[in-house]
């Protein structure tokens, strides 16, 4: 009983009940209209039949005379059916027909009348003298013939009323059937909808209890609930990824920042020791400042990654000349690369524009070129070479930074874009392991993909962005 009361309070049941009520009311109105129209049509048809017979009898009188018309009335009166006929003289006295008594007003004034009557119907068509009394209700038209005689033609409405009663009965049965069908169909619909909603609720309850791997079941019906479940599952996947990334970032920050913070403390402690020379204190302070700068750079990189992953705020994207951004960064790092014995070559298509964030695109290019300058020197000792390229093709904007250094093993190319990941070869280099993570976040912010491929030898870092 408690579950039933809860069911009645749900929006699904209330909406279903509302739709059922609307459907039932509309169906009742439709059936009532059909019933009324059927009754009206029957009455109209009877009136047309009466008018047609009156005109025919009038034509017979005018063309063939009174006797032919009287013979026709008598013949029609003897036929079985709902027809009602009366022919009287100028004073209204009965001459022939299957009616013997009429209201006085029907004989005095021509027009349409409805009244109770008693008529005689032949029991045996071969013997017209044998008759039995029969009561009924008639609708008649009374006319005065040119000869002065009174002609009354009508129809018994008992048959029509019987038919109307059948229509009303059918109407009531139809209404009851519609109500029962609507209730059953509404109940089944509400039950199915509530079952799907309960599935989503149970899944969310399990997720809130800590099981982040739970997902909303998706059926093969591919209906709106499956669309909702698919979107919810995609959202849950994203939330799980973010939480996993947050956990990894927390662990990595705690691990990677412990060492520089320990060095900062040791440098400060050594500067405060008794007997430390001014030169030692000066060196300790310089080291402390350098370590602090690296920590600040690490936190700035983390904040920029978080900003990129959170999505661009309103108004942050604008039309950007990507060609100019890439060329400027390449030109900026030209002297730095030259000091390291590395040559930077460019192949930048001019006039390429994107709706993007100029600062983040520029920072991504800076990170790629910094990495390239660090690792572009071949293991053979030859001169390093970096190629910076930008091209537009098939509705995509491709930015490439390629070098001829030792490269990255295939199994590590996806891992290096994770935060704080540093390969063994780069452990001795200054850095936080966040550069490529920032590039990947900026690329995803702009709806693109970032990949690292083999340059044989070296590495080719590719940013693939949509041109639209």
Higher pLDDT, 281 or 366: 366
Higher pLDDT, 241 or 74: 74
Collect all residues with Cβ–Cβ distance below 8 Å to 358 and sequence separation of at least 6.
318, 320, 325
Most confident of 48-52, 118-122, 133-137, 210-214: 48-52
pLDDT at 424 over 50: no
Q: Which of 149, 178, 209 is the last residue of a domain?
A: 209
Residues 61 and 132 in one domain: yes
pLDDT, tens digit (0-9, with 9 covering 90-100), for 186-210: 777 777 777 877 888 888 888 888 7
Higher pLDDT, 162 or 336: 336
Question: What pLDDT score does 316 carry?
Answer: 66
Residues 292 and 380 in one domain: no
pLDDT at 124 over 50: no
Question: What pLDDT score does 134 carry?
Answer: 59
Question: What pLDDT score does 129 carry?
Answer: 43
Residues 88 and 55 in one domain: yes
pLDDT at 430 over 60: no
Integer Cα distance of 119 and 132 in angstroms: 8
Q: Binning pLDDT at 50, 70 and 90, where does residue 422 land?
A: low
Answer whether residue 229 is part of any domain: no
Eight-class DSSP state of 468: -
**Domain of 438: which CATH number?**
3.30.565.10
Higher pLDDT, 377 or 310: 377
Q: Binning pLDDT at 50, 70 and 90, where does residue 126 land?
A: very low
Structural domain tally of the chain? 3
Q: Binning pLDDT at 50, 70 and 90, where does residue 427 land?
A: very low
pLDDT at 382 over 60: yes
Answer whether residue 196 is part of any domain: yes
Answer whether residue 26 is part of any domain: yes
Percent of the chain topping pLDDT 70: 78
Most confident of 122-126, 247-251, 266-270, 367-371: 367-371
Integer Cα distance of 93 and 71 in angstroms: 17
Q: Which of 222-231, 263-272, 381-390 is predicted least confidently?
A: 263-272
Residue ranges of alpha helices (H) inside 257-357 are 258-272, 278-310, 322-332, 334-339
Residues 177 and 273 in one domain: no
Integer Cα distance of 420 and 433 in angstroms: 4
Residue ranges of alpha helices (H) inside 311-402 are 322-332, 334-339, 358-375
pLDDT at 131 over 60: no
Question: What pLDDT score does 253 carry?
Answer: 62
User: Averaged over 201-221, what is the pLDDT?
Assistant: 82
28 in Cβ contact with 21 (< 8 Å): no
Residues 263 and 363 in one domain: no
Label residues 318-338 b or e (16+ Cβ within 10 Å = b): eebebbebbbebbeebbeebe
Q: Binning pLDDT at 50, 70 and 90, where does residue 428 land?
A: very low
pLDDT at 379 over 70: no
Question: What pLDDT score does 130 carry?
Answer: 43
Higher pLDDT, 79 or 5: 79
pLDDT, tens digit (0-9, with 9 covering 90-100), for 71-120: 888 888 888 877 888 888 888 788 888 877 788 888 888 888 888 877 65
User: Averaged over 446-461, what is the pLDDT?
Assistant: 86
Residues 51 and 187 in one domain: yes
User: Averaged over 288-310, what is the pLDDT?
Assistant: 70
Residues 28 and 132 in one domain: yes
Q: Binning pLDDT at 50, 70 and 90, where does residue 225 land?
A: confident
> Which residues form the domain of 437?
318-466
Answer whether residue 37 is part of any domain: yes
Question: What pLDDT score does 172 carry?
Answer: 78
Residues 342 and 301 in one domain: no
Q: Which of 159-168, 212-221, 304-313 is predicted least confidently?
A: 304-313
- The tokens of 350 are what? 């001019």
Residues 323 and 300 in one domain: no
Q: Which of 164-178, 284-298, 415-429 is predicted least confidently?
A: 415-429
Most confident of 129-133, 242-246, 349-353: 349-353
pLDDT, tens digit (0-9, with 9 covering 90-100), for 360-372: 888 888 888 888 8
What is the chain's mean pLDDT, rounded?
Answer: 77
Question: What pLDDT score does 311 carry?
Answer: 61
User: Averaged over 146-159, what is the pLDDT?
Assistant: 82
458 in Cβ contact with 373 (< 8 Å): no
pLDDT at 336 over 50: yes
Integer Cα distance of 263 and 91 in angstroms: 136
Residue with structure tokens 């920032």? 438
Helix or strand run (H / E) with residue 348: strand 342-348
365 in Cβ contact with 323 (< 8 Å): no
Question: What pLDDT score does 214 carry?
Answer: 83
Residues 277 and 340 in one domain: no
pLDDT, tens digit (0-9, with 9 covering 90-100), for 108-123: 888 888 888 776 554 4
Residues 378 and 455 in one domain: yes
Residues 282 and 326 in one domain: no
């Amino acid at each position: 009983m408690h579950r039933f009361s809860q069911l009645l309070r749900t929006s699904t049941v209330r909406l279903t009940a509302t739709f059922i009520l609307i459907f039932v009311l509309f169906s009742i109105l439709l059936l009532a209209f059909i019933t009324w129209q059927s009754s009206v049509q029957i009455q109209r048809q009877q009136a047309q039949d009466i008018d047609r017979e009156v005109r025919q009898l009038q034509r017979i009188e005018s063309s063939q005379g009174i006797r032919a018309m009287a013979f026709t009335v008598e013949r029609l009166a003897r036929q079985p059916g709902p027809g009602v006929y009366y022919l009287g003289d100028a004073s209204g006295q009965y001459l022939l027909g299957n009616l013997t008594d009429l209201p006085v007003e029907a004989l005095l004034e021509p027009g349409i009348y409805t009244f109770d009557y008693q008529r005689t119907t032949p029991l045996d068509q071969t013997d017209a003298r044998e008759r039995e009394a029969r009561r009924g209700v008639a609708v008649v038209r009374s006319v005065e013939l040119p000869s002065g005689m009174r002609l009354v033609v009508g129809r018994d409405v008992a048959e029509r009323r019987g038919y109307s009663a059948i229509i009303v009965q059918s109407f009531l049965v139809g209404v009851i059937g519609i109500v029962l069908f609507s209730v059953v169909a509404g109940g089944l619909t509400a039950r199915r909808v509530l079952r799907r909603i309960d599935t989503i609720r149970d899944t969310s309850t399990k997720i809130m209890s800590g099981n982040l791997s739970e997902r909303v079941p998706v059926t093969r019906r591919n209906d709106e609930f499956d669309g909702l479940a698919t979107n919810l599952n995609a959202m849950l996947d994203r939330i799980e990824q973010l939480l996993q990334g947050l956990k990894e970032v927390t662990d990595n920050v705690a691990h990677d920042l412990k060492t520089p913070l320990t060095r900062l403390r040791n440098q400060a402690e050594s500067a405060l020791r008794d007997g430390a020379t001014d030169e030692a204190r000066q060196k300790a302070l310089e080291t402390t400042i350098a370590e602090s700068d690296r920590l600040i750079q690490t936190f700035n990189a983390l904040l920029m990654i978080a900003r990129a992953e959170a999505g661009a705020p309103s108004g942050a994207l604008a039309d950007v000349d990507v060609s100019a951004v890439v060329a400027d960064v390449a030109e900026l790092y030209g002297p730095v690369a030259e000091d390291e014995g590395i040559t930077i070559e460019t192949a930048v298509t001019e006039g390429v524009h994107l709706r993007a964030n100029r600062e983040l695109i520029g920072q991504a290019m800076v990170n790629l070129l910094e990495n390239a300058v660090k690792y572009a020197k071949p293991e053979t000792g030859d001169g390093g070479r970096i190629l910076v390229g930008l091209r537009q093709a098939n509705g995509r904007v491709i930015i490439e930074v390629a070098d001829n250094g030792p490269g990255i093993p295939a199994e590590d190319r996806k891992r290096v874009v994770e935060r704080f990941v540093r390969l063994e070869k780069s452990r001795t280099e200054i850095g936080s392991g966040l550069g490529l993570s920032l590039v990947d976040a900026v690329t995803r912010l702009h709806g693109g993909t970032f990949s690292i491929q083999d340059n044989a030898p070296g590495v080719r870092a590719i940013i693939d962005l949509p041109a639209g």
